[in-house]
């Protein structure tokens, strides 16, 4: 166990689960059905990590409250249909998380998903009781506000210097910084590693198991 950390906190989409393509497709389909122009893939990937209302408003600042309700419902309908077969976890995620838990780390999820969506995917993977705590965007403040991390820290009885946030978006890493917490950037998710380096993560990884190797070394 790494001497500095007791709690590991993970984003879901693009960090644990290979779901970015489905999110992009669902956002495009929702735009089509709602009568809004499609934003390009790069723009959509740039809002992954935010709560869904915040993400839609970022892409479509002109949207009114009624249109937002309709857009969200189209997105949910399309995404849930795609998720009839849950997005696969990235290679090495299951083995690494099991190893972390065996080594005594507390484990948590901090996601831009809604609670209903997070519970659905946790159940699909048989992980209803796996994590010490999970926080979803619709039950707290959206990233990059640090509230969800502060709630996780309070639940686990851990200070911010003893926790590590692992994510694939600027919102994950900025949230960690706002909470006074170290972060790890993954290169295989929504945003480029070059963009994430601006937030000075302690580590950048190209494959999930590299996190376990680094923590096992007690490395700097």
Give catalytic status of residue 102 as yes or no.
no
CA 135, 141, 147, 151 dihedral sign is: negative
Contacts of 102 (CB under 8 A, 6+ apart): none
Q: Say which of 4, 13, 102, 138 is annotated catalytic.
A: 13
Closest to 144 (Cα-Cα) out of 166, 107, 176: 176
Q: How far apart are the first and last CA of the chain?
A: 13
Beta bridge partners of 182: 164
Q: Which of 184, 163, 64, 57 lies closest to 108 in space, CA to CA?
A: 163
Bridge partners of 165, per DSSP, are 9, 183
> Catalytic residue at 11?
yes
DSSP for 53-102? HHHHHHH-TT--HHHHHHHHHHHHHHHHHHTTSPPPBPTTHHHHHHHHHH
What tokens does 40 get?
């390009």
Taking each helix axis from N to C terminus, what angle separates 52-59 and 65-82, rounded to the nearest 10 degrees? 120
Catalytic member of 4, 11, 77, 172: 11
Q: Is the peptide bond before 47 cis (omega within 30 degrees of 0)?
A: no
Active-site residue list = 11, 13
């Amino acid at each position: 166990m790494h001497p500095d950390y007791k709690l590991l906190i993970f984003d879901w989409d693009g960090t644990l689960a290979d779901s970015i393509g489905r999110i992009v497709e669902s956002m495009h389909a929702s735009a089509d059905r709602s009568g809004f122009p499609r934003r390009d893939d790069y723009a959509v990937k740039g809002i992954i990590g935010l709560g869904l209302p915040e993400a839609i408003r970022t892409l479509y600042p002109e949207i009114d409250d009624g249109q937002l309700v309709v857009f969200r419902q189209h997105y949910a309908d399309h995404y849930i249909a795609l998720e009839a077969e849950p997005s696969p976890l990235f290679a090495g995620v299951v083995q690494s998380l099991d190893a972390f838990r065996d080594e005594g780390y507390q484990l948590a999820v901090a996601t831009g998903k809604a609670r209903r969506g997070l519970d659905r995917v946790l159940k699909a993977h048989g992980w209803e009781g796996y994590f010490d705590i999970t926080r979803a965007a619709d039950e707290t403040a959206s990233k990059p506000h640090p509230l969800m991390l502060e709630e996780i820290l309070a639940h686990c009885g851990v200070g911010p210097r003893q926790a590590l946030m692992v994510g694939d978006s600027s919102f994950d890493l900025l949230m960690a910084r706002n909470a006074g917490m170290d972060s790890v950037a993954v290169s295989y998710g929504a945003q480029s590693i070059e963009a994430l380096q601006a937030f000075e993560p302690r580590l950048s990884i190209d494959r999930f198991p590299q996190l376990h190797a680094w923590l096992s070394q007690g490395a700097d």
